[in-house]
Amino acid sequence: MKKCTSFKEFYPYYLKEHKHPYTKLFHFIGTFFSIVFLALLIFTLNPLNLLAALLSGYGSAWISHFFIEKNKPATFYYPLYSLLGDYKMFFETIIGKHRIF
């Protein structure tokens, strides 16, 4: 894996690591719930919502990479770019740029 020095350079690699439809589905669901829990954190100030956001987002993503895609999550190499990639892919899926199935 080559060293990425920008998110623009990283994102095509990120998309290649998410080829299987169920990996994309797990990411989509996990990212959706992470957004829900982050919104709850803002409104309730309950720190457990931050934990729930992290577990739902990363948990579902890592499960899909280990058991479906059978690759190592980009989070381990590029934590910030990977997080940005999750949200970008999520919103691009909503607007129809990416299809899950």
DSSP string, 25-59: HHHHHHHHHHHHHHHHHHHH--THHHHHHHHHHHH
Q: What is the pLDDT of residues 3-20, one digit of tens each?
A: 899 999 999 999 999 999
- Domain-wise residue ranges, the chain: 20-94
Query: What Å distances lie between residue 93 and 15, 56, 76, 90, 99, CA to CA?
Result: 12, 18, 24, 5, 6
Q: What is the mean pLDDT of the chain?
A: 95
Reduced to 3 states, what is the DSSP secondary structure of residue 71?
A: coil
> CB under 8 Å to 53, separation ≥6 — which residues?
33, 34, 35, 37, 38, 41
Mean pLDDT of 75-96: 95
pTM value is 0.91
Q: Is the pLDDT of residue 61 over 80?
A: yes
> Which SS3 state, helix, strand or coil, does residue 87 take?
helix
Distance (Å, whole) CA 4 – CA 98? 23
